[in-house]
Amino acid sequence: MKQDHDTCEVFCYDEAKVKRISSIIETENLAPVANIFKALSDETRLKIAYSLLQEGELCVCDVANIVGASMATVSHHLRLLKNLGIAKSRKEGKLVFYSLDDEHVRMLVETAVVHGREVDERD
């Protein structure tokens, strides 16, 4: 019979550790965090966020050309990123410019990309 190396061979747990971590998790609102990761799990939205990370600020037209998508598609993705607090926008005349919302978002995107490179190099 094949041995599964991803699970414990016996069921036991550290009751104090489980209670402590469970109480921390119960008091923390992780839904907004999950929504951020869901938004960034879409490759087009991640390309958009990474483009904004590289340039700092881009208009919708530039983003559409960079990611190779229609203005409507990019606008939809940018609106979602804005609603989740990942991006922010400003209007200048007839153009709308987007940037990442804050340093936390920039760090999150940059860290994820660096980690992705490292995983790719290991394979």
Q: Is residue 4 part of a domain?
A: no
Q: Is residue 26 part of a domain?
A: no
What CA–CA distance (Å, rounded) separates 16 from 19? Answer: 5
User: Two tokens at 105?
Assistant: 């978002």
**Mean pLDDT taken over the chain:** 92
pTM, entire model: 0.83
Q: Is residue 1 part of a domain?
A: no
> How many structural domains is the chain composed of?
1
Beta pairing partners, 99: 88
CA-closest candidate to residue 108, choices 59, 40, 42, 30: 40
Query: What are 41-93's pLDDT values in tens digits?
Result: 999 999 999 999 999 999 999 999 999 999 999 999 999 999 999 999 999 99
The single-letter DSSP state of residue 20 is: H
